[in-house]
Amino acid sequence: MLGKLKLLYSTIKHLKPVQIKYQVFYRLQRPQKLGEYSTNYDPDLISPLKFNEVPPVYSALHDGNSFTFLNLSKEFNHGIDWDFQEYGKLWNYNLQYLNYIFQTGISVRKSLSLINSLHASLQDGSLLLEPYPVSLRSINIIRLFSKYQLTDAKVLSSLHGELDFLSRRMENHLLGNHLLENAFALTMGGAFFSNNNWLKKGKDVLTHQLNEQILPDGGHFELSPMYHQIILFRLLELIDWYSKWEKKEEYFQHFLNHKAALMVKWLNQMTFKNGDIPHFNDSAVEIAYSTEWLLNYANKLGIRSDNRPLNSSGYRSYVTSIYECKIDCAQIGPSYQPGHAHADALSFILYSDGKPLLVEAGTSTYEANAIRQTERSTKSHNTVVVDGTDQSEVYGGFRVGSRAETRIISEDENSIVASHDGYKQKFNAIHTRTFSFQEDLIEIKDVISSRVSSKANFHLHPDIEIEKVNDSRYILGDIGTISFSNLIKSSIESYDFAEGFNKTRKGKVLVINFVNELNTKIDFNR
DSSP-assigned letters across all residues of 166-235: HHH---TTT-HHHHHHHHHHHHHHHHHHT-HHHHHHHHHHHHHHHHHHB-TTS-BTT--HHHHHHHHHHH
Q: Cβ-count burial of 310 within 10 angstroms (0-12 exposed, 13-18 middle, 19+ buried)?
A: buried
Radius of gyration of the chain (CA): 24
Q: Where are the alpha helices (DSSP H) in 390-500?
A: 424-427
CB 435 within 8 A of CB 506: no
Q: Which residues pair with 436 in a beta bridge?
A: 415, 443
pTM above 0.85, yes or no: yes
233 φ, ψ (degrees, to nearest 5): -60, -45
CB 316 within 8 A of CB 205: no
CB 353 within 8 A of CB 332: no
Report d(CA 61, CA 101) in Å as an integer.
8
Residue-wise pLDDT for 171-187, tens only, equals 999 999 999 999 999 99
Segment 210-232 mean pLDDT: 98
Q: Residue 126, SS3?
A: coil
Q: Residue 524, SS3?
A: coil
Residue-wise pLDDT for 398-412, tens only, equals 999 999 999 999 999
CB 497 within 8 A of CB 461: yes
| Identity of the amino acid at 275 | G
Q: Which residues pair with 494 in a beta bridge?
A: 508
Report d(CA 467, CA 446) in Å as an integer.
24
Report d(CA 359, CA 37) in Å as an integer.
48
Q: Residue 319, SS3?
A: strand
CB-based burial, 407-430: b 16+ in 10 Å, e otherwise: eeeebeeeebbbbbbbbeeebebb
Among 14-18, 153-157, 378-382, 488-492, the least confident range: 14-18
Q: In the structure, what pLDDT confidence band is assigned to residue 526 with cuts at 50, 70 and 90? A: low
Q: Where are the alpha helices (DSSP H) in 410-505?
A: 424-427
Of 417, 421, 467, residue with least CA distance to 443 = 417
* DSSP state at residue 77: B
- pLDDT at residue number 135: 98
- pLDDT at residue number 58: 87
Segment 122-148 mean pLDDT: 98
Asked if residue 1 has pLDDT above 90, the reply is no
Q: In the structure, what pLDDT confidence band is assigned to residue 504 with cuts at 50, 70 and 90? A: very high
Residue-wise pLDDT for 72-119, tens only, equals 999 999 899 999 999 999 999 999 999 999 999 999 999 999 999 999
- pLDDT at residue number 499: 97
Strands 431-438 and 415-420, by their bridges, are antiparallel
CB 222 within 8 A of CB 177: yes
CB 214 within 8 A of CB 263: yes
Report d(CA 52, CA 252) in Å as an integer.
19
| Identity of the amino acid at 223 | L
Report d(CA 397, CA 228) in Å as an integer.
20
- pLDDT at residue number 53: 87
Segment 24-30 mean pLDDT: 92
Domains in the chain: ranges and CATH: 315-523 (2.70.98.70)
- pLDDT at residue number 300: 97
Q: Residue 286, SS3?
A: coil
Report d(CA 224, CA 93) in Å as an integer.
20
Asked if residue 2 has pLDDT above 80, the reply is no
- pLDDT at residue number 273: 97
Residue-wise pLDDT for 187-204, tens only, equals 999 999 999 999 999 999
Residue-wise pLDDT for 300-319, tens only, equals 999 988 877 899 999 999 99
| Identity of the amino acid at 415 | S
